[in-house]
Structure 1
């Protein structure tokens, strides 16, 4: 596994911030799952407030890519269900 995130639709400031925080994240617990983040794992620059809730949110912490994306998908799905229920 590569430590480089395959998501490339973030701007240069996002990529710079990730590169800045990444070396300090190795060996520390993932803020989402609590397991250690290790070299060789896919790690993302995550958002404390999911982008689905605030599209202008800035990434501020390193997280396992799987944890980050699972959380984002769960928030997106919950919002979709909420919006569908409101239509009734």
Structure 2
């Protein structure tokens, strides 16, 4: 028996009025929907920042060592010393 994956739910993207105006105008003059313009813009932006993304992922993975403390450090942004200062973590 295989589980059927539920399709991802679409959620609204909230932007400030000035950005919404830019998106609306850009989409209109490019003959795109606002949704398509934003999707393409995000793809292009992330492609341009690919190296920055890679560096961020490598940094995040270097923190993880399989311990609960490393998970907490990554999720909270706290250092090991800060976690120890508030009582530490029972592994």
TM over 0.5: no
Structure number having the greater helix percentage: 2
Higher alpha-carbon Rg: 2
**TM-score interval for Structure 1 and Structure 2 normalised by the shorter chain:** 0.3 to 0.5
Does 1 or 2 have the higher relative contact order (CA < 8 Å, sep 6+)? 1
